[in-house]
Amino acid sequence: MSTSDLYEEFAQMVRGEILTMPRDDFRQRCDEDDKFIYLTIARQIAKHNRCQLIIHEEAFEFICPPP
């Protein structure tokens, strides 16, 4: 899995959908160079897809607002 695959996966989210992913899983799915900046990557993905990102201690929650 790579960072670009994460971008594509999140781009397929539909309005009103909520996706929760453990932080460790998200980090492991990033490119090797991006593993140090995985929080920044999560924020960029949320901004790119116009989703809200809620950062929990153990997980990220991406919320696409309803239409």
Domain positions in the chain = 3-63
Q: What does the pLDDT look like over 34-59, one tens digit per residue?
A: 999 999 999 999 999 999 999 999 99
Report the alpha-carbon distance of residue 27 to residue 50 in Å, rounded.
Answer: 21
| pLDDT at res. 1 | 65
Q: Output the pTM of the full model.
A: 0.87
